[in-house]
Amino acid sequence: MAADERDIVAGLAEIIEEVTGIEQTEVTPDKKFVDDLDVDSLSMVEIAVQTEDKYGIEIPDERMKGMGTVRDVVDYIKRVTVGRS
């Protein structure tokens, strides 16, 4: 079963808080990593690695560079986890 969107957002919020110190309540799907959350490139790499570990997926570097919002990452996770049990 694909991960539920709310659960994914909550999971990403936990990761973002751990990496950056930004409170989970500040992390919403429409927030931009750079403009709204002030996530730098090094922090983005750490977020990607922790996300890969948490969801058992691989996010190619080029794909991650194109993900500007929390929703972009959520949509990617949903897409690659469809059909998993």
Give the CA dihedral 34, 14, 25, 29, nearest 10 degrees: 50
Token couple for 67: 């993900």
What CATH number did the domain enclosing 28 receive? 1.10.1200.10
Can you give the pTM of this predicted structure?
Answer: 0.89
Q: Which domain holds residue 48?
A: 5-81
CA distances from 46 to 20, 49, 82 (A): 10, 5, 24
Given a cut of 80, whether residue 1 has pLDDT beyond it is no
Question: CA 51, 30, 39, 42 torsion: positive or negative?
Answer: positive
Q: Which pLDDT band, with edges at 50, 70 and 90, does 16 fall under?
A: very high
pLDDT reported for residue 25: 97
Q: How many domains does the chain have?
A: 1
Query: What are the pLDDT digits (tens) for 29-72?
Result: 999 999 999 999 999 999 999 999 999 999 999 999 899 999 99
pLDDT reported for residue 3: 58
